Structure 1
Amino acid sequence: MANFSDINFKYTDAEEERLYAPQLLEEAYVDINGILNAITSPEKFLVVGPKGAGKTALASKLLLMDKHRWDLFVDGDILEQFEYHLLNKTGGEKGTTIGGSLTAWQLILFLRIIPLFLKDEHFKDKNPGIIKLSESLKKYGLSESDSLISIIQYTSRRGIFGKVKSAISEVTGEKVEEENYKVKDPAALLSSIKSIFEKATPSESSYYLVIDGLDYILREGRDNTKYIADLINAVRQLNIFFASLGLSAKAIILIRNEVLKVVPDPNLTKRINDNGVQLKWFDNVRSPFDSSLLEVIRSRAALAGYQASMRELWYNWFPREINGTGSFEFVIVNTRYLPRDLISFFREVQKLGKQPPFNRVDVLSALNNYSDWFLQELGDALVGVIDENIRVELPDIISELGRNFKIDDLKEKLEEHGLLSKGITAEQIARDLFNSSWLGNRWDTNKGTPRYSWKHRKINANLNLKHELVVHSGLWKSLNLI
């Protein structure tokens, strides 16, 4: 007999799931909008979604698929500790043949992907020249690296470029003069490596490098986001190069909407439209129990022995209505319509130590505890997005303002706390809070009907400063607003 406590809601981090509960990814992964197929398209390499939308789950799923398919080779890089300033040392000055961090990114990405090709015995059999290149790189100090972090540390060192050039010359037969050993010209090195790959014979396999952890660049300030803009363009150019050779190889970038918002690239909207895949979990409002979001819960329940539909499960577990509202709507408005949020709510239900059916008080108790987690989750989403002094005091500020307020109220409260300074405005802070779902908009129609706008409900929604600002209901309990 199925037991509610046996459903695995323990982890909200996909990396932990891959390590400690791989069956969740192998047997209960929800392939939202066929993303596993969509991401194989040559032009698609940006996976976009808010914190908790399942970007890392996609990476973990691909890494597990690598273990079960002979024709798929996947590796991942988490750039949490990446030293972006070293790109300047690797790339040198812009305006020369060097090309700045854009070319530096392409070079280190190429060096990182080469070992992926050589994991494939079929590719190795067809391409002895690539094997020779790899062996020469090892000979001159660039060992088969498993991270972009170690590659950038290596290529930023003095004199290394001469060694890489020497390695390439062993394959191409080009003569390298001693005086050129210490010349830094990544564009020339990149061109030489590409010339070797242009002679490669494709195999039937696919090779994916998944790049995650770009959120952490914001911890050092928005000025560093230029490196992300260059990374996006470098990946696009590299992927186009591989596609032109008939190689099913690419780098895939996992990135949050909030991070993209601050990336200084005039072509970013085009990149998202042409090269992006959006993670949208709840697009079936008329039939919510058939949405991808609820499939996350149903598939986990199925692993624990529950065979009913999600609608049947929900109403077997929870009352039809709570406080005059349908129980599903009552719960879901406290989330951002994301898997991590809903899983966290169910984890709090399990902590009650009871078996279903759960009553109204049980649901309220779980939501109260969930609110504490939700406040921390949304607080983490603001790291690097807004000034740290404001982020730390934000819970107190919102508590003092109440559930609903105007932009002038927010400005007055920020000034009262001494948090507005040159370059920091209440309007920008409000937009950052809107983009991370702390706040939404509320207004009345001509008939007096209230309307709401939330970023997590409509990805293209923008804050209207003329409308009232409203606090996400999932935060109310922790902010003492109920």
Structure 2
Amino acid sequence: MSFKEIKFGFAAAEKEKSDSPQLLMQGFFDAYGYISEIIGMNKFLILGPKGSGKSAIGARLELLSDSNKMFFTKQYYLTSFPYKPFSSIALSSEAPETKLPINWEFILLIASLNSFIEDPTCKYHRNHKIDAVINALKNEGILPSEDLAQIVKISSNKQFMVNLKSIISGQKSSQSEKVPFNIEKLFATLQSLCYSLQMKFMHYIIIDGLDDALTQRSIQYQSLSALILAADRMNDKFKTNKVNARIIVLCRTDIFDKLGGPNKNKVRRDSGILLDWFQDVNDLKSTNIIKLVNLRAELSLGRKIDIF
């Protein structure tokens, strides 16, 4: 095998996951135990410069989930996220700093429910209201959904209707008896459901692509600040209620530094992981980046090698 044939990886972790998943399984170099910190230490905010491996961590978690079935993952990308419709979801009439975290909680509860319903060990206190909500979300095309943009576009549409009578009273009504969807009632029911579930397995809801199609518009930065705040609050609620779930946010460091929010640094200190490949050493061969390169070369060649 020539040097050109050695598979060192792809620029995008998503492509690496689909084309060469073994690179993320056997060729993943985790010098500082980042995966263990996420799984075992309640870390949820993964920070690092572009190309530092944030998406690779998300992709590896997905592959580990597929291979050992000991936890579930759902990964969502904000590539084409509709920020303006998102901000128009009418859950609150308060200022953006209050309204947007509530909107994110609503969207992320639905995203979490997408994962929960796939878990055969998931148990909840069934009643007509909850069953009606789940059925309504399925009928409206929100559940299941692999795209946060789809959830936002449907739920922010004025034509979005559910059978309010079913949700409130648990009684079925005919198609002609449908009334305008009361999003506050749905939100309250989702909170009641998702924060009381009992599950054997852990569920990780991974949010990636925060820098995709990002402009300098203030609504985007306000929305991303609200996302991190909402994830922090939701993770606290999951933990308090002993629900095996966590929202994971992958964010570029330079974008995070531009975000507002009074608790930003607290979240970073308590729940953040900073990916940093820089090492100020005299022996370059002892650096983690060189070890990663050699690890992937060994994986391609099937034998130990030092390509330097």
1:246 to 228, 242, 246: 242
Is 1:302 matched up with 2:298?
yes
Partners of 1:257 and 1:78 lie apart in 2 by 17
2:232 to 236, 239, 242: 236
Q: In the alignment, residue 298 of structure 2 is paired with which amino acid?
A: A
Structure-2 residue corresponding to 1:390: none
User: Kindly tell me: are residues 7 and 93 of structure 1, through their superposed partners in 2, closer, same or farther at Cα, counting changes over 3 Å?
Assistant: same
Offset of residue 41 of structure 1? 4.1
Is 1:270 matched up with 2:269?
no
Partners of 1:53 and 1:279 lie apart in 2 by 6
Q: Is the 8 A contact 2:211 2:255 kept in 1?
A: yes
Structure-2 residue corresponding to 1:104: 103
Structure-1 residue corresponding to 2:137: 137
SS at match of 1:91: coil
Structure-1 residue corresponding to 2:156: 156
Q: Is the 8 A contact 1:165 1:189 kept in 2?
A: no
Q: Is the 8 A contact 2:198 2:244 kept in 1?
A: no
Q: In the alignment, residue 302 of structure 1 is paired with which amino acid?
A: E
Is 1:94 matched up with 2:90?
no
Offset of residue 85 of structure 1? 0.7
Q: In the alignment, residue 64 of structure 1 is paired with which amino acid?
A: L
Partners of 2:165 and 2:106 lie apart in 1 by 16
Offset of residue 57 of structure 1? 0.8
User: Kindly tell me: are residues 240 and 93 of structure 1, through their superposed partners in 2, closer, same or farther at Cα, counting changes over 3 Å?
Assistant: closer
Q: Is the 8 A contact 1:198 1:245 kept in 2?
A: yes
Aligned length: 301
Partners of 1:89 and 1:32 lie apart in 2 by 43
Q: In the alignment, residue 154 of structure 1 is paired with which amino acid?
A: I
Offset of residue 118 of structure 1? 1.4
Gaps of 5+ in 2: none
Partners of 2:273 and 2:245 lie apart in 1 by 18
Q: Is the 8 A contact 1:56 1:254 kept in 2?
A: yes
Offset of residue 219 of structure 1? 2.3
Q: In the alignment, residue 182 of structure 1 is paired with which amino acid?
A: P
Q: Is the 8 A contact 1:86 1:153 kept in 2?
A: yes
Is 1:215 matched up with 2:211?
yes
Could you state the TM-score of these two structures normalised by the residue count of structure 2? Answer: 0.86
Q: Is the 8 A contact 1:282 1:288 kept in 2?
A: no
Q: Is the 8 A contact 1:140 1:167 kept in 2?
A: no
Offset of residue 224 of structure 1? 2.3
Offset of residue 269 of structure 1? 1.5
Q: In the alignment, residue 247 of structure 2 is paired with which amino acid?
A: A
Q: Is the 8 A contact 2:279 2:287 kept in 1?
A: yes
User: Kindly tell me: are residues 195 and 165 of structure 1, through their superposed partners in 2, closer, same or farther at Cα, counting changes over 3 Å?
Assistant: farther
Q: In the alignment, residue 195 of structure 1 is paired with which amino acid?
A: S
Partners of 1:166 and 1:305 lie apart in 2 by 64
Q: In the alignment, residue 180 of structure 2 is paired with which amino acid?
A: K
| 1:440-455 → structure 2 map (5 Å cutoff) | none
Offset of residue 25 of structure 1? 0.9
> How big is each residue's C-alpha offset from its partner over 1:119-151, in whole Å with a ceiling of 9 and x where there is no partner?
11122xx33639834234224553311111100
Structure-2 residue corresponding to 1:200: 197
Offset of residue 180 of structure 1? 11
Partners of 2:155 and 2:29 lie apart in 1 by 39
Partners of 2:232 and 2:177 lie apart in 1 by 34
Q: In the alignment, residue 268 of structure 2 is paired with which amino acid?
A: I
Let me know the Cα RMSD of the aligned residues: 3.0
Partners of 1:42 and 1:169 lie apart in 2 by 39
SS at match of 2:126: helix
The share of aligned pairs that are identical, in percent, is 25
SS at match of 2:89: helix
Q: Is the 8 A contact 1:42 1:240 kept in 2?
A: no
User: Kindly tell me: are residues 180 and 220 of structure 1, through their superposed partners in 2, closer, same or farther at Cα, counting changes over 3 Å?
Assistant: farther
Could you state the TM-score of these two structures normalised by the residue count of structure 1? Answer: 0.57
User: Kindly tell me: are residues 170 and 63 of structure 1, through their superposed partners in 2, closer, same or farther at Cα, counting changes over 3 Å?
Assistant: farther
2:186 to 186, 189, 200: 189
Offset of residue 115 of structure 1? 1.8
User: Kindly tell me: are residues 291 and 140 of structure 1, through their superposed partners in 2, closer, same or farther at Cα, counting changes over 3 Å?
Assistant: same
Q: Is the 8 A contact 1:29 1:296 kept in 2?
A: yes
SS at match of 1:47: strand
Q: In the alignment, residue 151 of structure 1 is paired with which amino acid?
A: I
Partners of 2:81 and 2:91 lie apart in 1 by 18
Partners of 2:162 and 2:236 lie apart in 1 by 28
Q: Is the 8 A contact 2:232 2:267 kept in 1?
A: no
Partners of 1:141 and 1:5 lie apart in 2 by 46
Structure-2 residue corresponding to 1:13: 12
Partners of 2:94 and 2:178 lie apart in 1 by 20
User: Which structure is higher in RCO with an 8 Å CA cutoff and minimum separation 6?
Assistant: 2
Partners of 2:187 and 2:162 lie apart in 1 by 14
Partners of 2:169 and 2:136 lie apart in 1 by 7
Q: Is the 8 A contact 1:159 1:181 kept in 2?
A: no
User: Kindly tell me: are residues 163 and 113 of structure 1, through their superposed partners in 2, closer, same or farther at Cα, counting changes over 3 Å?
Assistant: same
Partners of 2:275 and 2:162 lie apart in 1 by 43
| 1:43-54 → structure 2 map (5 Å cutoff) | 43-54=42-53
| 1:115-126 → structure 2 map (5 Å cutoff) | 115-123=114-122, 126=123
User: Kindly tell me: are residues 232 and 75 of structure 1, through their superposed partners in 2, closer, same or farther at Cα, counting changes over 3 Å?
Assistant: same
User: Kindly tell me: are residues 222 and 27 of structure 1, through their superposed partners in 2, closer, same or farther at Cα, counting changes over 3 Å?
Assistant: same
Partners of 1:183 and 1:304 lie apart in 2 by 55
Partners of 1:298 and 1:58 lie apart in 2 by 19
Structure-2 residue corresponding to 1:280: 276
2:251 to 242, 255, 265: 255
Q: Is the 8 A contact 2:29 2:292 kept in 1?
A: yes
Offset of residue 8 of structure 1? 0.8
